[in-house]
Structure 1
Amino acid sequence: MEESGQEITDVHSAASLIAIIDDDPDVRDALAMLLQEHGYAAAPFAGGREFQAFARKQDIRLAIVDLRLSGESGLSIVHDIRANLAFPVIMLTGTGDEVDRIVGLETGADDYVMKPYNPRELIARIRAVLRRYSQTHSEPALSEQADSEEVVRFGQFFVDMGQRCLCRNEGEEIPLTNSEFRLLEFFVKNPNRVIERELLLDVLGSDLSRYVDRTIDVLILRLRRKIEPVPSKPVHLQTRRGLGYIFVTDAQ
C-alpha cells in the first residue's frame, strides 16, 4: 500500500475517514482492511510527513498512530494533531511500558491499544472514542444534575463548553489537551462533590486500569499547573485523601 496516503479504501463516500500511521506495511494493510469491513474509510501512512500534508486538506475523523515509528516518534505526531488539528487519536503500542502510556496520555492521546490487538476490541475502541468526541455533553450519571450553562466561571478563569476552551477572565486562552479538557469539563459540571478516581478514569475512556492512581495523578497535576496559583496548595482542584478529588468553584 502506498505511503502517500492517496490509496484510500473504497467505501461509501459518507464513511468516516480514519488515518493510519504505522511504518509496518503489514499492519497498515491489516488495519485498512479491518476498517473497510466495518464501514470506515482508511488513509494509510508510513510516517508523519505525508500524513500531516494530507490531514490539513481532508476531513479526518480519527487517527491511529503507532507509538514507535522508524526514525520518528508517534508522540510528536499526536502532539501536532492536538496543537493544529481537531480529531481524536488512538495510539498503538507494542510495549506494556507504563511510562510510555502515561506520556502518551499527557500528550493528548484519547485511548491506547496494545499490539497484537484484538480486531473486535479495536473497532469497539474506535466507536467509543468517536462517540465521546462527537457527543461532548454525554457524561456519566453525575453530570445529569450538573450546571447546564455554556460558560462556567471559577476564580480567575472560565470554561466555555461550546467552544471547548479554558480562558482567563481577561480573555487569554489556556491550552489544554483533549484529556485535560474532558477532565476539567467533568469537574466543572459536577462541582463541590467528591469524585472517585475510578469514575474519572471512566470519563477519560482510558484502558489504563492497572495504573489508575498514577494516570489520574499525572493529569490532575498538569491541570493544577494551569489553574492553580500554587499547584502544591490547590484551592479549586483539591484532593480528598482516600476518597478522590473535589472541584471547588467558589474557593476564597
Structure 2
Amino acid sequence: MQHQAPSSPVVAVIDDDADLRATVSALLEENGFTPLSLPDSASFFALGPEPGVDLALIDLRLRGESGLMLAVQIRERFGLPIVMLTGRGDEMDKIIGLESGADDFMMKPFNPRELIARLRAVLRRAGHPAVTTPVAAGSQVWKFGALQLDVTRRELLRADGSEIPLTNAEYRLLEYFLRNPERIIPRTELLTELGNDLSQYMDRTIDVLILRLRRKIEAVPSKPIHLQTRRGQGYIFVMQAV
C-alpha cells in the first residue's frame, strides 16, 4: 500500500503591502510552503468556516484595522498557529501580543532564512506532518525536575513524554537559562540574547516571558524553585531543587 506524502503547509500571508506579500509568498514557495496572499481580515474570513490554512503570518499594523485583533480572532475561531510581523517601535503591541499567546514574532526587515526556520518550528510544535520529524538518537537533552528540554527537536517534555508547547521566545529564554545554570543573569543580558527581533522591547517583555515560562515549568509559579528572581540583579536558573 502506498502512503501519501504529507501536503505542504498552507501559510496565509496577511499584509496590506502587496510587494511584501509577493516577496514572502515567493520565499515560501521556494521552501516547500503553499502561500495564500491576503490583504486584510475580510479576505481571510471570506475563505469560510474551514479556511484550509495551517498557519497565519500577520502584519501587526494592517491598514485600517488591528493585526493583533485579527490574530486573536483567528486563534479563537480556528485554533491556528500565529506568527506576527512587526516594525520597530511597536513595543507595547508586542508585549500585548506575547500576553495574548502569539506563537512568535518577526521584526521587519527580517532574515529570510530565519523566517523560514521560525515558521517550520511553529508548525512542528503544532504537529503538522510535513515538518514533524522523528526523535533523533543523538538528541541533546537537559533535564531539570520532572521536565526535560530536547534541544535537537526544540521541545519541552514532561516525564510521560508529552510536550509542553513553548513559543519561540519562551524556548530561547529557557535554553539560555539551561546553558547558564546557577548564574545570576541580568535582564539586559537576557534581552540581548533574545536577538534583534526582541532587543528593542521594553524591560517588561522579560517580565512577561518569565511569568509565562514559570507557568509552564514550575509546580507553583508564584513560588518558583527553578526560575528564581534575585531582586535588583536579575534571574537565576536552579537545576536541582533543594
Instruction: Give the TM-score range, shorter chain.
Output: 0.5 to 0.7
CA separation of 1:102 and 1:65: change in aligned 2, threshold 3 A: same
- What whole-Å deviation, never above 9, does each CA across 1:1-26 have from its counterpart, x for those lacking one? xxxxxxxxxxxxxxxx974213x4xx
Residue in structure 1 matching 2:230, options 231, 240, 247: 240
Q: Deviations over 1:138-164 (max 9, x none)?
A: xxxxxxxxxx96222111212222332
Does the residue aligned with 1:76 lie in a helix, a strand or coil?
A: helix
SS class of match (1:194):
coil
Which string of whole-angstrom CA distances, capped at 9 and with x for unpartnered residues, describes residues 84-113 of structure 1? 55xx823247x9564422121342353354
Does 2:94 align with 1:101?
yes
Give per-residue Cα distances to partners, 1:195-224, cap 9 Å, x unaligned.
232332233335454544200010101111
Counterparts of residues 38-187 of structure 1 (less than 5 Å): 41=29, 43-45=36-38, 46-47=40-41, 48-49=44-45, 50=47, 53-56=51-54, 63-66=57-60, 70=65, 73-76=69-72, 79=75, 84-85=80-81, 89-92=83-86, 98-106=91-99, 107-111=101-105, 113=107, 122=109, 124-130=110-116, 150-187=140-177
Once the two structures are superposed, residues 67-99 of structure 1 have per-residue CA deviations (whole angstroms, 9 ceiling, x without a partner) of 55759823326747xx655xx823247x95644
Tell me, what secondary structure is at the counterpart of 2:51?
helix
- Is 1:32 the counterpart of 2:31? The answer is no
Cα distance in 1 between the residues matched to 2:191 and 2:119: 16
Percent of pairs with identical residues: 42
Could you tell me how far apart the structure 2 residues matched to 1:134 and 1:191 are? 28
Q: How far has the Cα of 1:250 moved from its partner?
A: 1.3
2 CA distance for matches of 1:250 and 1:170?
Answer: 19
Specify the SS of the correspondent of 2:203.
Answer: helix
- The separation in 1 between residues aligned to 2:187 and 2:111, in whole angstroms, is 21
**1:78, 1:108 within 8 Å by CA — same for their partners in 2?**
no
Distance 1:39 1:33 in 2: 9
The alignment covers a number of residue pairs equal to: 206
Contiguous gaps of at least 5 residues in structure 2: 1-9, 30-34, 122-137
Partner secondary structure for residue 234 of structure 1: coil
Give 1:189 deviation, angstroms.
Answer: 2.6
RMSD of aligned Cα (Å):
4.0
The CA distance in 2 between the partners of 1:178 and 1:104, in whole Å, is 13
1:205 to 195, 198, 203: 195
The answer (yes or no) to whether the contact 1:152–1:160 under 8 Å persists in 2 is yes
Q: How does the TM-score come out when normalised to structure 1?
A: 0.62
Separation in 2 of the partners of 1:236 and 1:214? 21
By how many angstroms is 1:180 displaced? Answer: 1.4
Q: Deviations over 1:55-77 (max 9, x none)?
A: 33xxx8x8343455759823326
Q: Which amino acid aligns with 1:53?
A: P
**TM-aligned CA distance change 1:161 to 1:84, over 3 Å:** farther
Amino acid at match of 1:187: F
Partners of 1:35 and 1:132 lie apart in 2 by 14
TM-score, normalized by length of structure 2? 0.64
Output the amino acid matched with 2:71. Answer: L
Distance 1:100 1:109 in 2: 14
**1:176 and 1:209, CA in 2 relative to 1: closer, same or farther beyond 3 A?**
closer
